[in-house]
Amino acid sequence: MAFAIRMGHPEMEDLWKDLSTRKLAGSLGKDEEKFFKKFVKALAYLSSDPRHNSLSSHEISDLSRKHGLKIFQSYLENNTPGAGRVFWTYGPDARDITVLAVEPHPEDKKRGAYERLKLSSLPPSSGKAGRKG
41 pLDDT higher than 70: yes
Domains of the chain plus CATH, in order, are 4-111 (3.30.2310.20)
Residues 94 and 132: beta-carbon distance below 8 Å = yes
Distance CA 37, CA 132 (A): 28
pLDDT in tens, 20-31: 999 999 999 999
pLDDT in tens, 59-115: 999 999 999 999 999 998 877 666 789 999 999 999 999 999 998 766 555 566 677
SS3 94: coil
Helices (H), the chain: 11-25, 30-48, 61-67
What is the 8-class DSSP label of residue 125?
Answer: P
**23 to each of 14, 46, 76, 101, 104, how far by Cα in Å?**
14, 21, 18, 20, 22
